[in-house]
């Protein structure tokens, strides 16, 4: 079973990972070629708008049940020619994603809703959707965040770590079903195991972990 997580519950303020990705997009534009970006899941389409504003062509990938809402949001931005929607959950990516190969892929959430091995396969698949030298930006819920309080699998090795949050965390954040929470080192190893070259990892003020990797 894969747990669907609708949001990272306590990230606030400017997102450093987003800033890195947008800066990379601007650099690639200077090569006189429009950068192509895949974002999954789509979220509120806010990140897509940011990428379009720096000149990128954006593909949003999310569950088909959200298509109407997401396409409505895209239409409301006036950026319909620059943003396209593709059906596919993080755990169930389509066999071929239109618009690939991409320069950048931004994975906002979803990996912690599956076991480590499944997450490794997803990351490996996304790397193959990148051009050589393309970058993958990953954000994931942290073991040392508030969600890790009384988390039953806190001391379990990452390959076997997969359980529900403590009851008070489930009530507070509404995350149902088992999850795999990551330390920064766990995320580094996930990216490495998937075949990426890891450029950086970081832990946010709120304890979530983020990473940047490149396809080589």
Q: Tens of pLDDT along 28-80?
A: 887 667 899 999 998 888 999 999 999 999 999 999 999 999 999 888 888 88
CA-closest candidate to residue 154, choices 178, 181, 177, 134? 181
Distance of CA 140 to the CA centre of its chain: 7
**102-107/197-203 β-pairing:** unpaired
Across the range 178-189, mean pLDDT stands at 98
pLDDT at 101: 87
Four-residue CA torsion sign, 40, 43, 44, 47: negative
Q: Can you give the pTM of this predicted structure?
A: 0.91
Contact indicator for 134, 112 with CB cutoff of 8 Å: no
Domain boundary assignment for the chain: 16-140+184-214
Rounded Cα distance between 194 and 177, Å, is: 25
pLDDT at 5: 59
- Bridge partners, 58 (sequence order): 37, 83
pLDDT at 15: 87
Residue with tokens 């073991």: 143
Out of 50-64, 93-107, 139-153, least confident range: 93-107
Task: Give the helix/strand (H/E) hosting 18.
Answer: helix 16-29
Q: Of 32-36, 73-77, 83-87, 134-138, which one has max mean pLDDT?
A: 134-138
Largest CA distance in the chain: 52
Using 50, 70 and 90 to split pLDDT, how confident is the model at 100? low
Question: pLDDT at residue 7 above 50?
Answer: no
Rounded Cα distance between 139 and 173, Å, is: 17
- Assigned CATH for 16-140+184-214: 3.40.50.150
For residue 101, cis peptide bond before it (omega within 30 degrees of 0): yes
- Bridge partners, 37 (sequence order): 58, 104
């Amino acid at each position: 079973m894969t747990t669907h997580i609708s949001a990272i519950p306590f990230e606030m303020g400017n997102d450093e990972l987003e800033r890195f990705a947008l800066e990379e997009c601007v650099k690639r534009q200077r090569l006189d070629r429009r950068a192509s970006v895949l974002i999954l899941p789509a979220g509120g389409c806010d990140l897509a708008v940011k990428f379009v504003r720096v000149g990128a062509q954006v593909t949003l990938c999310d569950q088909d049940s959200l298509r109407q809402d997401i396409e409505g949001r895209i239409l409301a931005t006036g950026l319909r020619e620059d943003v396209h929607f593709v059906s596919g959950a993080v755990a169930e990516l389509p066999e071929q994603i239109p618009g690939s190969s991409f320069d950048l892929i931004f994975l906002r959430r979803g990996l912690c809703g599956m076991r480590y091995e499944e997450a490794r396969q997803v990351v490996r698949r996304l790397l193959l959707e990148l051009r050589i030298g393309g970058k993958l930006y990953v954000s994931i819920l942290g073991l040392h965040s508030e969600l890790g309080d009384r988390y039953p699998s806190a001391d379990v090795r990452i390959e076997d770590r997969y359980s529900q949050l403590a009851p008070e965390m489930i009530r507070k954040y509404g995350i149902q079903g088992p999850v795999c929470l990551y330390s920064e080192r766990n995320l580094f190893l996930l990216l490495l195991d998937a075949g990426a070259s890891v450029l950086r990892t970081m832990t946010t003020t709120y304890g979530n972990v983020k990473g940047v990797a490149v396809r080589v």
